[in-house]
Amino acid sequence: MEEKKKNLSDFNSFKLPSLQNITIGIIVSEWNDFVTEALKEGTISTLLEFGLKKEQIEVYYVPGSFELPTAAVMLLEAHPDIDGIICLGCVIQGETRHFEFISQAVATGIMKIGVEYASPVIFGVLTCDTIEQAKERAGGKHGNKGVEAAVSCLKMLALERKLK
């Protein structure tokens, strides 16, 4: 069976509502920072490409991916003016089941926060088997998952504005 490979940075242009009053929070895991910094750069460059200004983007750091959901809640509680949050992390399979527990907890936590707050909280966390796979998805041959996370956030904000 042939595996379909998609460049994560490919996206179709879409119409956005005014971005004048939008503030995006980006929460970045410091663990595997050789990957997460590349994800952050892809995220920021995409947001700027779509018309946001640097002052509309706030970046925060947490020790690891496991802390992303907690930081997202802290950010939503401390800054209700935040329109969307992009959580960036990288969990790489090791020799134990730790990978499974962290990946599942982070994915479920981020999803629950978005639902609970009815706010775009985007899962931009790589869960890879190898370092090479992570690099391929953080600016390598599969694009940059940070770009995809930024586009997802903007599309969700557009949907939210349309529904209001």
Active site residues: 98
Q: Strands (DSSP E) along 93-152, which ranges?
A: 121-128, 138-140, 143-144
| Alpha carbon of residue 159 to chain centroid | 18
Question: Which residue matches tokens 């892809």?
Answer: 42
Strands laid side by side in the 57-62 sheet: 57-62, 24-29, 84-92, 121-128
Name residues whose C-beta falls within 8 Å of residue 66's C-beta, 6 or more positions apart in sequence: 102, 105, 106
Q: Are 16 and 49 in contact (CB under 8 A)?
A: no
